[in-house]
């Protein structure tokens, strides 16, 4: 108990003894009052922390939801209208798209509620309350325990606490670690399961600039999509039903038509996914100098192949739109991240801090920390080659679509071999695999996969030592004389996993004794051999090393906070609701260049290029521009503002987050960061780290003037001072 009390006192002391600087930080909403409210109000905020997060009355938190499993969304109407990014809704828009009804290209607008489209499997999760549960989770934990012993006790405690809560509640509960496991909070949530597509602009608006402009500023993207939450007639979350009704929220955002000025206070309220701000230099070096460059190369090759076919065949462009976006997004982010750390001399900065830390740890009373950094160095030296080999398995081997698809048949093979009379389990598995096959082949183009396989196998072979290669490389070397194309031809000619008709026929007539046909399929054998390699060569050692690193990181986090008691520390992002705040600002990315804080429709017209898909301007948008038909959505300068930049600290998961003004009114939707600042997941530079948001007036303009869906605005609360 003494250990836990000491940690708690330390956390409170760090929060209160601080030099407050806006910009960097992703703050726990339930602690804003004691930690951040004063600074936020000094920076210009006109509301209170209780207005942002409250369990006693409705507050801003009641309008913010985790969208799916990776984005943020916000409620903007009395009838549960949900606003998020176009790229967050992209997968669902794509699922509804066909060549005949190409909603990606043409956009989609439901002109009444009966036209809204259901999205099976899509959820939206609302936070009801956060609770500090550190004492309960760490009950029975002793600092002399091994990491494995500690994890077992913590896991059991978390299971007990969440189970006990859910027995007495209709809500869900999940417990997350903060400050590297020095504190724990329980998230009490409500999950909505009937989420319907209401509207989305064409990709020439929602994804204007495409991968070229991704992560870049200036930006001119109308990155939004609209959904609606439905519930049963009693107002409870329910699976899709025609009898469900629109959700009536406890709170929905007021939308400001006033726009933003430079140096205006703003804050972002959303679900940032993952940051690692407190790593040692060895980890940052591994990520930016070793892992990122190799993953960048592998993804770049795949993207080139995707583009070659997508630019020629419209159907393939639709099929691979989501895949391309997923691969490209992190590819470009890694490039910016590595470049940003180099520009900041980030590794050197970490090393300088570590010298200071070593001197402090060697001073009186701090000897328990003296060997931390040496142990980090040893562990990361051992982990680096294993992580790199794992990257090649995932980014090269499992990037081959039929190999990854074939791997999903593992359970059927195991059931057929070990429990062949279990008809119920086998039939259930076959039904699942048939559904999966339908989804797979809908978005599959074999020539792309063949070319990807040949290129990925070559790069894998050239960059990995023999101990990290699966067995099929022996056949490539010996039987096929290092001819990757020949081996690829063999796999595709013999495999059943790229032939929809044959595969479905096989499943329709499946008998357990036929499992060997699947087991001997060359695509499945590739997947099997890669998994076997991982389990025998990587998995155990990787788990041991990562557990040891996690244990050290928890101690290192505590030590940093003890060493710097006057420095404010915020917990790393972990997909829990956070607040970040700053100012509307431009920035200077390099010598003699300055980017102002907003973009306009004029910039879209300047970028227009009818020969490049990402820069095509639709006829309707050009017509509105030529007529300057901006309605009430024009700025006071007479132009239509499209986006703006600010110094709010964001990361993945913040996509779709509401951007709010000093009064807590919606002024924008966060969708990106500037490329020069993508290293903010590892270290924050206030000079260049900027979040990028669509101006809410551009969203309203597209809905009303462009799409003619102005009826949706009738359920919103729009104000203009």
Q: What 3-state DSSP class applies to 649?
A: coil
List 655, 657, 680, 693, catalytic entry? 655
Q: What's the rounded Cα separation, in Å, for the pair 621 and 172?
A: 44
- C-alpha–C-alpha distance, residues 492 and 485, integer Å: 11
Phi/psi for 5 (5° steps) reads -65, -40
Which residue in 86, 209, 43 sits closest to 584, CA to CA? 43
Dihedrals φ, ψ of 490, to 5°? -60, -50
Chain length of the chain = 721
Helix (H) or strand (E) holding 187: strand 183-192
- 5 is annotated as an active-site residue: no
* Spatial CB neighbours of 277, under 8 Å, sequence gap ≥ 6: 570, 572, 681, 682, 683, 684
Q: Assign residue 140 a region: left if phi > 0, alpha if psi is -120 to 50, beta otherwise?
A: left
Half-sphere exposure in the Cβ direction for 623 (13 Å, CA): 7
- 3-state DSSP assignment of residue 39: helix
Distance in angstroms (rounded) separating the CA atoms of residues 659 and 88: 16
B/e letters for 441-455, b = 16+ CB within 10 Å, e = fewer, are bebbbeebbbbbbbb
Annotated active-site residue 478? The verdict is: no
Closest to 692 in 3D by CA, of 336, 356, 369: 336
656, 125 contact by CB (below 8 A): no
Cβ neighbours of 509 (radius 10 Å): 8
What gap in Å lies between CA 522 and CA 515, rounded to an integer? 14
Who contacts 77 (Cβ-Cβ below 8 Å, separation ≥6)? 252, 712, 715, 716
Do 668 and 644 form a contact (C-beta atoms < 8 A)? Answer: yes
Clarify whether 256 is annotated catalytic.
Answer: no
- Other C-beta atoms lying within 10 Å of the C-beta of residue 272: 25
Cα Rg, the chain, nearest whole Å: 26
d(CA 487, CA 473): 10
* Integer Cα distance of 254 and 136 in angstroms: 39
Element (H, E) at 386: helix 372-392
Per annotation, catalytic residue among 213, 223, 324, 391: 223
Structure tokens at 333: 């982010």
DSSP annotation string for 246-311: E---S---EEE-S---TT-EEEEEE------TT--HHHHHIIIIIIHHHHHHHHHHHHHHHHHHHT
Q: What is the distance between the terminal CA atoms of the chain, rounded to a whole angstrom?
A: 54
Under DSSP, is residue 108 helix (H, G, I), strand (E, B) or coil? Answer: strand
Q: Per DSSP, what are the bridge partners of residue 256?
A: 719
Catalytic residue among 87, 597, 641, 649: 87
Task: Specify the residue for token string 């829990």.
Answer: 576
Q: Which residues contact 173 (CB under 8 A, 6 or more apart)?
A: 161, 162, 165, 166, 186, 187, 188, 189
CA distances from 150 to 49, 146, 186, 278 (A): 35, 6, 19, 22
CA distances for 231 relative to 191, 241, 247, 250, angstroms: 11, 9, 6, 14
d(CA 193, CA 236) in angstroms, rounded, equals 10
Supply the DSSP symbol for 29.
G
Distances from the Cα of 452 to the Cα of 19, 100, 300, 302, 312, angstroms: 52, 28, 11, 6, 17
Q: Please list the active-site residues.
A: 87, 223, 655
């Amino acid at each position: 108990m003494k250990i836990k009390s000491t940690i708690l006192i330390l956390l409170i002391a760090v929060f209160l003894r601080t030099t407050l600087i806006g910009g960097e930080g992703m703050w726990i909403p339930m602690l804003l009052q004691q930690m951040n409210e004063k600074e936020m109000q000094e920076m210009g905020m006109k509301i209170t922390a209780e207005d942002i997060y409250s369990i006693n009355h409705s507050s801003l938190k009641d309008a913010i939801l985790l969208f799916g499993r990776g984005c943020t969304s916000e409620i903007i109407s009395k009838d549960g209208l949900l606003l998020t990014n176009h790229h967050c809704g992209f997968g669902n828009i794509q699922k509804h798209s066909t060549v005949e009804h190409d909603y990606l290209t043409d956009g989609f607008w439901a002109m009444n509620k009966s036209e809204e489209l259901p999205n099976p499997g899509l959820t939206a999760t609302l936070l009801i309350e956060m609770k500090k549960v550190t004492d309960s989770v760490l009950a029975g934990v002793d600092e002399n325990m091994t990491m494995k012993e500690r994890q077992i006790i913590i896991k059991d405690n978390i299971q007990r606490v969440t189970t006990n809560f859910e027995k007495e509640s209709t809500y869900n509960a999940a417990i997350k670690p903060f400050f590297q496991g020095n504190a724990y909070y329980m998230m009490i949530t409500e999950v909505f399961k009937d989420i319907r597509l209401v509207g989305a602009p064409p990709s020439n608006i929602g994804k204007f600039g495409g991968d070229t402009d991704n992560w870049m500023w200036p930006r001119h993207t109308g990155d939004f999509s609209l959904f609606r939450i439905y519930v049963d007639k009693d107002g409870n979350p329910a699976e899709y039903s025609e009898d469900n009704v629109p959700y009536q929220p406890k709170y929905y955002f007021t939308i400001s038509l006033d726009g933003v000025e430079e140096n205006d206070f703003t804050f972002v309220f959303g679900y940032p996914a993952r940051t690692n701000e407190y790593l040692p230099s060895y980890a940052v070096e591994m990520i930016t100098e070793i892992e990122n460059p190799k993953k960048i190369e592998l993804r770049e090759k795949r993207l080139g192949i995707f583009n070659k076919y997508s630019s020629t065949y419209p159907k393939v462009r639709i099929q691979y739109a989501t895949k391309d976006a997923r691969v490209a997004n992190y590819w470009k982010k890694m490039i910016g991240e590595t470049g940003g750390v180099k520009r900041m001399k980030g590794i050197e900065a970490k090393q300088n801090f570590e010298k200071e830390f070593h001197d402090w740890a060697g001073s009186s009373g701090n000897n328990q920390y003296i060997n931390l950094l040496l142990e980090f160095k040893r562990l990361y030296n051992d982990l680096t080659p294993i992580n790199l080999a794992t990257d090649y398995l995932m980014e090269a081997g499992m990037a081959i679509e039929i190999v990854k698809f074939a791997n999903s048949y593992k359970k059927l093979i195991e059931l057929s071999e070990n429990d062949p009379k279990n008809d119920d389990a086998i039939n259930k598995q076959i039904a699942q695999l048939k559904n999966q096959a339908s989804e797979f082949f809908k978005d599959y183009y074999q020539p792309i996969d063949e070319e990807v396989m040949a290129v990925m196998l070559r790069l894998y072979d050239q960059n990995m030592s023999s101990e990290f290669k699966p067995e099929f490389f022996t056949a490539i070397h010996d039987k096929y004389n290092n001819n990757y194309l020949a081996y690829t031809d063999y796999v595709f000619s013999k495999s059943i996993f790229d032939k929809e008709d044959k595969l479905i026929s096989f499943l329709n007539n499946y008998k357990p004794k036929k499992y060997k046909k699947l087991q001997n399929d060359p695509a499945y054998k590739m997947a099997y051999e890669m998994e076997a390699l991982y389990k025998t060569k990587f998995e155990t050692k990787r788990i041991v090393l990562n557990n040891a690193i996690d244990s050290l990181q928890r101690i290192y986090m505590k030590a940093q906070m003890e060493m710097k008691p006057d420095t404010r520390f915020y917990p790393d992002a972990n997909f829990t609701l956070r607040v970040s705040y700053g100012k509307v600002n431009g920035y200077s990315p390099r010598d003699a260049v300055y980017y102002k804080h907003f973009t306009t429709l004029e910039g879209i017209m300047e970028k227009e290029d009818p020969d490049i898909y990402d820069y095509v301007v639709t006829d309707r948008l050009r017509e509105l521009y030529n007529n300057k038909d901006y309605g009430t959505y024009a700025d006071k300068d007479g132009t239509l503002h499209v986006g703006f930049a600010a110094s709010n600290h964001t990361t993945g998961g913040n996509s779709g987050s509401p951007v709010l003004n000093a009064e807590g009114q919606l002024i924008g939707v966060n969708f990106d960061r500037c490329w020069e600042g993508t290293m903010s997941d590892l270290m924050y530079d206030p000079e260049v780290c900027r979040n990028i948001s669509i101006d809410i007036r551009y969203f309203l303009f597209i809905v009303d003037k462009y799409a003619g869906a102005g009826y949706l605005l009738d359920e919103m609360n729009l104000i203009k001072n």
